[in-house]
């Protein structure tokens, strides 16, 4: 059973030759079977946290630790992190022109599973996973995310999640830009993934809406580059009625 531990994590980014600290001491432990919602206003550093865990080169960890089952994640390359069982569904998924979705998924599955999936069962597996997410089969031959709508990109992220079955999934604003039907389909995909009871989920969101579909065990308020309050689902209800004003001094709705 997996555990992701984030200990006093400080992360900075350098833009125009100026180094700026974005995360200032994040502490969080996610165990297998737990879903943690990270809720916070825009610009609080939520995506930076997800990038730091995934190993994005732009984000420098200046101090602190990230451990997966006790192993030092910060020592691992991006590929090694994926093979170790970490998965990031990005807020803004990147387009990969010239690489078809079916090739991309097979390559990713081969890397993560350590061997190429058997072709016949694989084709079936992908077909079922696509149909579960209401993705048109024609998408298999399209370039990854190229020309996809926002909602189509999010479905594709959840398709990967279902096929790769990571130990720990970080879902960065998977709800943003989705209409109610797409939100339901995508949430059902996440819930199928969670159904094993062994997945650890970090569900990053600005809005409480997705939490009606994906019930969190814990809710953390993220502001100014760290977790400023933690609680159960009731904390999300409180944010829904009060917004983030108590944490930022600024009026910002959470619904
Ligand atoms: P959130 O996801 O909570 O909206 P982000 O992690 O995207 O917040 O951003 C947090 C802060 O870090 C913002 O002020 C943002 O402008 C800054 N930031 C994030 N990434 C970069 C980057 N690559 N270059 C410069 N500034 C960045
Ligand atoms: Mg500190
Ligand atoms: Mg973000």
Residue 251 has pLDDT above 80, yes or no: no
Q: What are phi and psi of 145, to 5 degrees?
A: 65, -5
Rounded distance between C-alpha atoms, residue 53 and residue 86, angstroms: 8
Alpha-helical (H) ranges within the chain are 46-54, 78-84, 101-113, 119-132, 150-164, 180-194, 233-242, 245-248
* Cβ atoms of 26 and 36 closer than 8 Å: no
Q: Whose CA is nearest to atom 19 of ligand 1?
A: 48
Asked if residue 223 is part of any domain, the answer here is yes
Rounded distance between C-alpha atoms, residue 61 and residue 52, angstroms: 7
- Spell out which residues have Cβ within 5 A of ligand 3, the ion: 46-47, 91
Q: Please state the pTM of the whole predicted model.
A: 0.95
User: What pLDDT is stored for residue 67 in this prediction?
Assistant: 98
Residue 199 has pLDDT above 90, yes or no: yes
Q: Chain centroid to CA 168: how far?
A: 9
Pocket probe mutation, ligand 1, options 17, 20, 45, 90, max atoms within 8 Å of Cβ: 45
Rounded distance between C-alpha atoms, residue 61 and residue 49, angstroms: 10
Confidence of residue 252 (pLDDT cuts 50, 70, 90): confident
Pocket probe mutation, ligand 1, options 12, 13, 90, max atoms within 8 Å of Cβ: 13
Distance (Å) from CA 27 to ligand 2 centroid:
9
Distance (Å) from CA 120 to ligand 1 centroid:
43
Asked if residue 25 is part of any domain, the answer here is yes
Q: Chain centroid to CA 163: how far?
A: 15
Asked if residue 37 is part of any domain, the answer here is yes
Residue 254 has pLDDT above 90, yes or no: no
* Cβ atoms of 91 and 45 closer than 8 Å: no
Pull the structure tokens for residue 23: 């995360």
Average pLDDT of the chain to the nearest whole number:
95
User: What pLDDT is stored for residue 253 in this prediction?
Assistant: 82
Asked if residue 91 is part of any domain, the answer here is yes
Asked if residue 255 is part of any domain, the answer here is no
Asked if residue 253 is part of any domain, the answer here is no
Domain with residue 52: its CATH number is 3.40.50.300
Q: Please report which helix (H) or strand (E) contains residue 222, including its range.
A: strand 218-223
In total, how many domains does the chain have?
Answer: 1
* Cβ atoms of 203 and 35 closer than 8 Å: yes
Asked if residue 137 is part of any domain, the answer here is yes
| Strand bridging mode 218-223 / 18-31 | unpaired
Q: What are phi and psi of 134, to 5 degrees?
A: 55, 40
Parent domain of 66: 3-232+240-248
Asked if residue 254 is part of any domain, the answer here is no
Dump pLDDT digits (tens) for 130-164: 999 999 999 999 999 999 999 999 999 999 999 99
User: What pLDDT is stored for residue 177 in this prediction?
Assistant: 87
């Amino acid at each position: 059973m997996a555990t992701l531990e984030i200990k006093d994590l400080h992360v900075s980014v350098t833009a125009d030759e100026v180094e700026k600290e974005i995360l200032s001491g994040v502490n969080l432990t996610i165990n297998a079977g737990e879903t943690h919602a990270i809720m916070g206003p825009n610009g609080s550093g939520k995506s930076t946290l997800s990038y730091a865990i995934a190993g994005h080169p732009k984000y420098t960890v200046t101090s602190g630790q990230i451990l997966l089952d006790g192993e030092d994640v910060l020592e691992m390359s991006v590929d090694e992190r994926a093979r170790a069982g970490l998965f990031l569904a990005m807020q803004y998924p990147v387009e990969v022109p010239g690489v078809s979705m079916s090739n991309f998924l097979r390559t990713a599955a081969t890397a993560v599973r350590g061997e190429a999936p058997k072709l016949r069962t694989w084709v079936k597996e992908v077909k079922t996973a696509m149909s579960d997410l209401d993705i048109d089969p024609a998408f298999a031959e399209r370039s990854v995310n190229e020309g996809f709508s926002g909602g189509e990109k999010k479905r594709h992220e959840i398709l990967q999640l279902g096929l790769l079955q990571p130990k720990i999934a970080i879902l960065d604003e998977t709800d943003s830009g989705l209409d109610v039907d797409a939100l339901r389909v995508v949430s059902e995909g996440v819930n199928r993934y969670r159904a094993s009871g062994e997945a650890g989920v970090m569900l990053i969101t600005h809005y409480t809406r997705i939490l009606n579909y994906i019930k969190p065990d814990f809710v953390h308020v993220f502001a100014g580059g760290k977790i400023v309050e933690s609680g159960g689902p009731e904390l999300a209800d409180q944010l829904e009625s009060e917004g983030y004003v108590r944490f930022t001094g600024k009026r910002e709705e959470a619904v």
